[in-house]
């Protein structure tokens, strides 16, 4: 952009950006009333605003229904029974956070944020809703079999989630799917307490140990099905079954020609990673027939891809698979089950659109009806008995029941008072060209020429940066120019007026799909929703990595509407619909471990809840141990160093080290004086008291 010519405009006497030596307050830009911004000014946060407007702004009714809403207090509420939740049964999310994070002396659990809050009642409702959708479709279409799904444990292998699904799904013969040996072990163990008819689907690549383990499951009277991903796995299954004397139940994964074009469809189509081609399916059937084992082939599995966007694509894939199923039945296989795999999507952005990986254009009922009709049509045409319908709908089951809550700890908001009371005098001392830009900026402001203000501010800043690099400008001058330009940007609400909020979180640990594949999740302040947000912000995490930030949001936003940060913490945000994959995929970037976890269930009182399980997040010692370090030896080494070099303060330093090893890696809002007082108060030994150790161990295993 060419340099702007100086405009000879008289500046009113005494104006000099007519200050009393300090920057004007926000909203007091000296040129009349500024253009109304998209996010209005903070001083007007209460006027003409409502919780309904917040719900619309953050699209809560789109992605959150029927489980999340905004209550009259302006807080996010959880409707754990879905659409059947009565108003008095709603759970205020802020009350849960307060219960979890308040000190034990105040009746809280003393857990540190970030924190994952699980709502098993939501999980139960999701499972019941999925089963009801298929049951209704089966009944209304006269389908002559039933639905029984499985949960793919790879979505979230947490013990209590898997146990909940087995318990809640027992009336519906709901089972589990495993893709590795440890997943198979946990699935086998869990299903010993489940419905005996529940399926245990064994997917993934297999060796002799995997196959042996699956066959042991059949020997333990579990309804185990070994699904062949490659043709050569058949030989392993046959040989191992003969050695163990256990007749297998075998499934095939078909590599369909139907292809899902979105990001999540990369495993679909003829070039997909998994599955058998048509020729390989025929080869397996022929081998089994020669071995007199064709009756063992009982299941056909396929997977179009996660987040199937439309029922048109779904119907196409199911129809193709149903034809393969019918042909296998015609060849004499003992076919009983068609496993449609995963793909049941959820609406992350609330748009109900089939044109985005972040949404889907259907609901549960439409999904189930499409599947049932496609299978029924194919089977009826070829006079094949209707199969049991199985799905592996992990994302749709567990995403809603888990909420990640984290806290903003600071922001990049500029504090004019930090530069003192002499900014105007500093600016008046600028070099001639810069001084001319400054005075032309003030003149444009007086005439309410906001576009011109922005141009002059940009030119002033660039000119001063160059002069600073050349050594012609002092640091206080550059700081004053930055302050002025920041004020102009905020008052006129330019695209540059996006503030960075620093959050007590690791994106890589808790929201890895955002960093890895650009997956968007709804992120919303969980309180102050009765107030008008006044800031456009992005979220920057604690990690020493430039990718550790959230700068894309649902609805195509590059910033998130936020409330003014008051400092000292206390501004809480929630990431919703993240119950699938995020915990399983999260790493240890910068050795930030996982969040604390609480399990919350509804109770009988109005707006009341019960915390039935609580677990602090991994300590510094835990994450160090995960990377092959030995915290106990590290502590002893540092303790000896303290005894050698810090004679008078050795005990206090040693105690501080012990507390550091046992604390979470995330930030804690306490002063240095508080830390030192805690380290020295009542502690006689370097390693801390036995009571402290007992208390810590209790907190790590806390269960209600």
Give, for 299, the enclosing helix (H) or strand (E): strand 297-301
* Active-site entry in 544, 620, 655, 701: 544
- How far, in Å, CA of 459 to CA of 437, rounded? 7
- How far, in Å, CA of 704 to CA of 537, rounded? 38
What values do phi and psi take at 379, rounded to 5?
Answer: -70, -40
SS3 132: helix
SS3 502: strand
CB 259 within 8 A of CB 313: no
- How far, in Å, CA of 629 to CA of 636, rounded? 13
- How far, in Å, CA of 508 to CA of 394, rounded? 22
For this structure, is 6 an active site residue?
Answer: no
CB 155 within 8 A of CB 584: yes
Nearest Cα to 46, choosing from 570, 562, 528, 651?
Answer: 528
CA distances, 383 to each of 265, 374, 390, 413 (Å)? 32, 14, 20, 70
- How far, in Å, CA of 223 to CA of 214, rounded? 10
- How far, in Å, CA of 50 to CA of 45, rounded? 10
CA dihedral defined by 502, 503, 506, 507, rounded to 10 degrees? -80
SS3 422: coil
CB 461 within 8 A of CB 434: no
- How far, in Å, CA of 277 to CA of 14, rounded? 84
Nearest Cα to 381, choosing from 340, 311, 329?
Answer: 329
Active site amino acids: 544
């Amino acid at each position: 952009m060419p340099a702007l010519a100086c405009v000879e405009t008289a500046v009113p006497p005494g104006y000099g950006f007519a200050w009393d030596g300090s920057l004007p307050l926000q909203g007091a830009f000296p040129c009349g009333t500024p253009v109304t911004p998209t996010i209005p000014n903070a001083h007007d946060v209460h006027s003409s605003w409502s919780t309904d407007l917040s719900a619309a702004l953050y699209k809560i009714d789109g992605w959150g229904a029927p489980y999340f809403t905004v209550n009259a207090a302006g807080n996010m509420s959880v409707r754990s029974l879905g659409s059947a939740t009565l108003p008095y049964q709603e759970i205020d999310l802020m009350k849960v956070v307060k219960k979890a994070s308040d000190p034990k002396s105040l009746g809280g659990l003393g857990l540190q944020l970030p924190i994952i809050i699980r709502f098993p009642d939501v999980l139960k409702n999701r499972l019941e809703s999925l089963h009801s959708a298929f049951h209704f479709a089966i009944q209304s279409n006269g389908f002559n079999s039933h639905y029984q799904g499985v949960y793919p444990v790879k979505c979230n292998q947490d013990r209590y989630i898997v146990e909940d699904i087995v318990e809640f799904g027992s009336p519906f013969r709901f089972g589990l799917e495993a893709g590795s040996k440890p997943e198979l072990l946990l699935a086998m163990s869990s299903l010993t307490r489940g419905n005996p008819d529940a399926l245990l689907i064994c997917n993934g690549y297999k060796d002799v140990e995997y196959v042996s383990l699956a066959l042991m499951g059949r020997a333990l009277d579990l309804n185990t099905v070994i699904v062949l991903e490659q043709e050569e796995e058949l030989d392993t299954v046959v040989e191992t079954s003969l050695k163990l004397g256990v007749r297998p139940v075998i499934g095939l994964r078909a590599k369909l020609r139907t292809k899902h074009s979105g990001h999540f469809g990369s495993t679909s189509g003829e070039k997909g990673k998994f599955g058998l081609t048509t020729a390989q399916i025929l080869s397996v059937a022929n081998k089994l027939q020669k071995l007199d084992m064709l009756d063992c082939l009982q299941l056909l599995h396929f997977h179009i891809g996660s987040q199937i966007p439309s029922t048109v694509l779904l119907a196409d894939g199911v129809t193709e698979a149903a034809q393969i199923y019918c042909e296998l039945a015609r060849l004499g296989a003992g076919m009983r089950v068609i496993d449609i795999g995963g793909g049941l999507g959820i609406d992350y952005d609330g748009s109900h659109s089939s044109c985005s990986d972040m949404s889907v254009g259907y609901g549960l009922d439409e999904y189930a009806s499409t599947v049932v009709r496609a299978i029924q049509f194919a089977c009826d045409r070829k006079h094949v008995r209707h199969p049991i319908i199985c799905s592996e709908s992990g994302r749709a089951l567990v995403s809603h029941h888990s909420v990640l809550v984290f806290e903003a700890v600071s922001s990049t908001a500029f504090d004019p008072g930090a530069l003192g009371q002499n900014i105007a005098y500093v600016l008046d001392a600028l070099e001639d060209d810069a001084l001319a830009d400054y005075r032309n900026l003030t003149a444009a402001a007086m005439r309410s020429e906001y576009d011109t203000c922005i141009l002059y501010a940009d030119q002033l800043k660039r000119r001063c940066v160059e002069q600073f690099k050349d050594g012609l400008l002092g640091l206080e001058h550059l700081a004053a120019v930055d302050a002025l330009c920041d004020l102009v940007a905020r008052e006129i609400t330019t695209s540059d007026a996006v503030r960075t909020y620093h959050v007590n979180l690791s994106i890589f640990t808790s929201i890895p799909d955002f960093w890895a594949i650009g997956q968007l999740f709804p992120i919303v302040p969980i309180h102050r929703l009765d107030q008008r947000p006044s800031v456009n912000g992005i979220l920057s995490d604690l990690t020493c990595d430039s990718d550790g930030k959230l700068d894309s949001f649902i609805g195509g936003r590059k910033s998130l509407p936020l409330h003014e940060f008051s400092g000292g913490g206390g501004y809480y945000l929630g990431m919703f619909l993240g119950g699938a994959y995020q915990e399983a995929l999260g790493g240890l970037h910068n050795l930030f471990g996982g969040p604390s976890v609480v399990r919350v269930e509804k109770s009988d009182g109005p707006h009341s809840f019960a915390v039935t399980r609580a677990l602090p997040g991994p300590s510094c010692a835990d994450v160090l141990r995960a990377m092959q370090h030995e915290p106990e030896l590290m502590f002893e080494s540092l303790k000896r160093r303290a005894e050698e070099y810090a004679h008078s303060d050795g005990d206090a330093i040693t105690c501080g080290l012990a507390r550091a090893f046992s604390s979470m890696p995330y930030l804690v809002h306490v002063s240095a004086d508080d830390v030192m007082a805690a380290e020295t108060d009542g502690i006689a030994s370097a390693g801390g008291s036995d009571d402290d150790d007992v208390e810590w161990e209790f907190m790590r295993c806390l269960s209600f």
